[in-house]
Amino acid sequence: MEQPAVRAPADSRASRPTDDPRTARLVDGLLAVGTVAAVLAGTVRLGGRVDAAGALPLAVWLGALLLARRRWPLAVLLLGVQAVVVFRTAGLTDVGWVWPLSAAYATLAADDRPGRPGLPWAAGVGLAELAFAGAWETGPGGATPREALGSLGTEALWLAVLLAAATAYRNRLRWRAELDERLLRAARERDAEAGRRIAEARLEIARELHDVVGHTLTVVGLQLRVAAEALDDSPEEARSALATAQQVRTEALRDLRSLVHVLRAPGGAPHDPAAGVPEIAALVDRMRSAELDVRLETAGDLAAVPAPVSLAVHRIVQESLTNTVRHAGASRAGVDVRCGGGRVEVRVTDDGRARAQPPEAAGHGVRGMDERVRALGGEFSAGPHGEGDGWLVRAVIPVPGFRP
């Protein structure tokens, strides 16, 4: 059976929107180029100076740092903040505190890998940078508090927007990861359920094949032996035995066709309308011979037994009598089927030698009977009958609400 796909580790979640290294490098490169262009354009738009010793090297440095943002997002932000502080305090550039570092702030805030809480770090670094900027701009010879408040208020608002957007993006990636995990778990559960159903179907087919083929060969062999022994002295008895063998062969072919139909139509169940409690009398008649006398006793409404239980009882009687003919050397056997009190009880006994089940029977026959009964919630036993010779097979299958 095909195995389900292996789930990706849970720690490769929100911080990795793509697993393709070439795509990741392309995105980082485009972001670096975009940052260089945005820093220069923003400086011009806000009336700042753009020269080879100020805004240009700062923009290139901030863009180059973004090439390492996936691996070291906190280090990228700290180095970027340091560069902005150095260039501003040295007078090399005169606009921008937070906005030139927009990509670095957003990357760190969206980082959600275990042990690396990016959002608190991004917020802390941003507040520290704004606090420093406020102290520096309102220092001796700086802007008035009103002007500083207007400038830094815009920067603070922009920082809040960045952190909110990064948080929404991170939460969306979390949701997608959880959804993918739930879908994968559901798919694995469906695969496990399908595997269980396939195993149950194979087991059911194996039991049916064992019971049908084993019983057919035993009965046909028995009747052919009767025919061979009676051919000269009693042609009529030989003819009857051959007719019985032919009938059993025909029924076996029908059973095998039913199993082949199940194999060609997955999801179905073996269906054998001619195997059930009402047909046990005909089964017992076929198993009788000069060497083995089989007695049948029944009680209750046999026709009212539900189909799954009826099939199981029929197969138990069939397999038990087949083992009696093959292995017991018995002269008498008894079949007792009783329906009532919310259960069906079946007992098959013989007076043959007490025996250990042969490997093939213990591996398939007795095991198959036990599996049938336990699948229906019943009890099954097979072993020596009493202290002397003889063998007993007993099964009790509950039928809720069944009171014939």
Q: Quote the CA–CA distance of 227 and 253 in Å, as a whole number.
A: 22
Q: Which residue has the higher pLDDT, 229 or 130?
A: 130
Question: Domains of the chain by range and CATH?
Answer: 21-189 (no CATH), 275-404 (3.30.565.10)
Among 172-186, 246-260, 334-348, the minimum mean pLDDT is found in 246-260
Q: Grade residue 286 by pLDDT with cuts at 50, 70 and 90.
A: confident
> Mean pLDDT throughout 230-248?
72
pLDDT of residue 228: 75
pLDDT of residue 223: 67
